[in-house]
Amino acid sequence: MYSLFSLHELSIVLLIRNHNHTLLNWDFLKCTGIVPQDWQLASEPISTQNFSQIAFQNGLRIVADNSKIIFTETIGEKSLVDIVVAQIAKFYTQILPYAEYQALGLNPEAFVTFPEHPEIAQNYLSKTLFFSQPWLEFGNTTPRVDLNISYTLDQGTLNLKVAQQFIKQEDGETMTPIVVYSGNFEYMFEQFLPAERSAILWNYLEQWQLNVETFNHLIKNQFLQGLNTPLSGVDTDTLMGLPMEMLMQ
């Protein structure tokens, strides 16, 4: 049994007091140089009284309201050098250096599949990480378990959620069980003077690749390393469970 690890997306969340979400529009992004002139929109921008949204064909989308702005990039087959979301977030904050930045969240999300034994993903937490503890045997079926962990690292706090989900295949009908790892590196700015926050924020954004590499290392070497060995002698029937409802489109 071998797992396939895939970094699915990377999002950057900025909490901003009294943020004017109407600034998020195509003209503002182009005219200020936040995004290149040759980028193409994936759909018509949205602007309402409560929020604004803009999406591009390269997989980057930006959503803003009066308290935050979220930059999200779908990774797919991109290498780290081709990921632009942190750079775009930095450009945005450089155009607005005096905004009241309160916190930054840098959030990588990855998922893992087990092609040879997809049933393992269905019972990954209850039958693999927790090794069938007695409290997991309560009830008529294998319970659903989500795991939340908070790590203290040199570069800040990493919050990690591990959850079992399903994803649709290209045929639109087949459902494949997956394990989703959602990371959150969090940085708070309220302890810094307002005049210092922009420079500190930019420094954190420049470290995005280190954070992603740390996240990847944690998943591959701490969660998956022991699983990437053949399941010789293992009764895979004990890993079977009832499918969970679809959680991921």
Give the position of tokens 């009764």: 235
CB atoms within 10 A of CB 246: 11
Segments of the chain assigned E as strands: 4-17, 46-47, 52-55, 60-64, 68-74, 100-113, 147-153, 156-168, 175-188
* pLDDT tens digits along 146-158: 789 999 998 889 9
Residues whose CB falls within 8 Å of the CB of residue 176, separated by 6 or more in sequence, listed in order: 113, 118, 121, 166, 167, 168, 169
- Angstrom distance (rounded) from CA 189 to CA 33: 26
Q: What is the C-alpha to C-alpha distance for residues 102 and 68, in angstroms, rounded to an integer?
A: 9
Two structure tokens written together for 213: 């590499």
Percent of the chain with pLDDT over 90: 59
The segment with the largest mean pLDDT, out of 109-113, 171-175, 235-239, is: 109-113
Q: What is the pLDDT of residues 170-181, one digit of tens each?
A: 676 777 888 899
E strand segments, 135-202: 147-153, 156-168, 175-188
Q: Which of 123, 140, 111, 147 is nearest to 234 (CA)?
A: 123
**pLDDT of res. 127:** 66
Please state the φ and ψ torsions of residue 30, each to the nearest 5 degrees.
-75, -50
Task: Compute the radius of gyration of the chain from its Cα atoms.
Answer: 21
pLDDT surpasses 70 at 245? no
